[in-house]
Amino acid sequence: MTESAGPKAQAPAEAARLRALPAVGELAARFPGVPHGFAVRAAREAIGEARERVLAGAEPGDLESAARERLEHLLEGTLRPVVNATGVIVHTNLGRAPLARVAREAAAESASGYANLEYDLTEGERGSRQAHIEPLLTRLTGAEAAMAVNNCAGAVLLACAALASDREIVVSRGQLVEIGGSFRIPEVAEQSGARLVEVGTTNRTRLPDYQRALGPATGAVLRAHPSNFRTLGFVEEVEIEDLCALARERGVPVIDDVGSGVLADGIPELADEPAVRRSVAAGAGLVCFSGDKLLGGPQAGLLVGTREAVSACRAHPLARALRIDKLSLAALAATLRLYLDPAEALREIPVLRMLSAIEPELRGRAERMRDLLAGRGVSAEVLLAAAKVGGGALPLLELEGPVCAIDPAPVGLNELARRLRGHEPPVIGRAREGWLLLDPRTLDDAEAQVAAAAVARALER
């Protein structure tokens, strides 16, 4: 009897607390000037959690504060700028390549109103959105024609569908790679309606392997750069010039997926990535590459090559499903214009600037972060560590340089990382041997100050 009396005695108090909870409309009305739907949702969630607390025997808490917190989150949105202190330059999870200033401005201007996206201002009639980037791409690559779609996987899919649907595509077994998110080149190609014919072995493919496979049913030869891994040791592959020469003899085009899109010259760190211009000069029918990796622009898939092959892609029904939007197109065109002056591209495109950053610049930034932290009583040192290119490019390249290493001992590494993710803006670093590293390669001077100050605040709490 004694055990059952407790809950019965508490029931009236519990019921009273539940009755005291405000109605959703009443709580939502406390936030005038806020869109009604947002206020109602925040109020409903806050009241729902308060009911759960009461039923669990706790106090309901401050509902207005709880609703205000949810409202701020709803109005803020979930896609937020972050400070990338990881040292991974093309960080897929953090949005890949940061845009150059002119690219950001071009996208914002395009978003501000109407634009001549598919309107020919000279003729006063419908035009093509590809006209805004084709002259730039052909000038920069030497190709006869060019177009852009929404990403590189889409470019490869469109190329295979336009040139080899219901026919065979010949590909080396060593190039049947898996790209991000478990998407595989064979699956992308097969979605085009083509049949893959594998030649060679995982580590060695020779020209005679292709010669034996090419026949009347061949629609194209696919060459896919294994950008996110390297096979070392007893390996052999056919150079693009030899492959294109063979394909020309047999009357079939080569689709060359070079991945990350290297247009810049004179950057030693990019020497192991295939240059777009080389594949075009070799005679590839289509060269496919990304806009948002080493090119340093927005998400896009670019196709450059012969006039006949690009025309086939434009005429294919998939071209509409994969077409690039006006904001990305504006940012892409602005990025490509920077490449017309190689020195300006190196200065203004963040990815290229990070790749070629020199040791004194990085050390100075790391030391300023360390000094700021030391002034706030935080233990930090300048150490050497290796940054990475990321984005599935140059997997063996390690960009060694100075970093600011923080001792997270007061709260622990995991708790410090959690607090930094909750900072405004969130700061994302990387862990190494118990240290939290802030890598100056992926930070500018202002971001480095923000990152160091965020660490100091997180450790003071």
- At 74 the pLDDT is 82
Integer Cα distance of 213 and 198 in angstroms: 8
Looking at beta carbons, which pairs linking 68-75 to residues 24 or more positions away fall under 8 Å? Answer: 68/31, 68/42, 70/41, 70/42, 70/45, 70/46, 71/31, 71/34, 71/38, 71/39, 71/42, 74/38, 74/41, 74/42, 75/34, 75/38
Residue 175 CA neighbour count, 13 Å, CB half? 25
- At 116 the pLDDT is 96
Reported as a pLDDT band with limits 50, 70 and 90, residue 182 is low
Give the bridge partners for 302, in sequence order.
Answer: 148, 289
- At 227 the pLDDT is 66
- In the predicted model, is pLDDT for residue 1 greater than 60? no
- Rounded mean pLDDT, 332-359: 96
- Rounded mean pLDDT, 302-309: 98
- Judge contact between 313 and 162, C-beta under 8 A: yes
- The tokens for 143 are 């190709």
Cα of first residue to Cα of last residue in the chain, in angstroms, is: 48
Which DSSP string do the residues of 360-374 spell out, in sequence order?
A: HHHHHHHHHHHHHHH
Closest by Cα among 200, 328, 339, 320 to 265: 339
Distance of CA 40 to the CA centre of its chain: 35
Global pTM value: 0.86
Phi, psi at residue 4, to the nearest 5°? -80, -15
| 13 three-class SS | helix
User: Tens of pLDDT along 222-233?
Assistant: 999 876 666 777
- In the predicted model, is pLDDT for residue 383 greater than 80? yes
User: Tens of pLDDT along 418-430?
Assistant: 999 989 999 999 9
User: Tens of pLDDT along 102-114?
Assistant: 999 999 999 999 9
User: Tens of pLDDT along 123-155?
Assistant: 999 999 999 999 999 999 999 999 999 999 899
Reported as a pLDDT band with limits 50, 70 and 90, residue 168 is very high
Distance of CA 33 to the CA centre of its chain: 36
| Alpha helices by DSSP H, 184-228 | 185-190, 207-213
Phi, psi at residue 60, to the nearest 5°? -70, -25
Phi, psi at residue 262, to the nearest 5°? -90, 115
- The tokens for 104 are 């950001």
Which DSSP string do the residues of 55-117 spell out, in sequence order?
A: HTTS----HHHHHHHHHHHHHH-S----EE-SSEEEBGGGTBSPPPHHHHHHHHHHHTS---T
User: Tens of pLDDT along 63-120?
Assistant: 999 999 888 888 877 888 999 999 999 999 999 999 999 999 999 999 999 999 999 9
- The tokens for 444 are 């500018």
The position carrying tokens 């508490």 is 10
Pairing, β 427-428 against β 286-290: unpaired
Most confident of the following: 15-19, 202-206, 328-332: 328-332
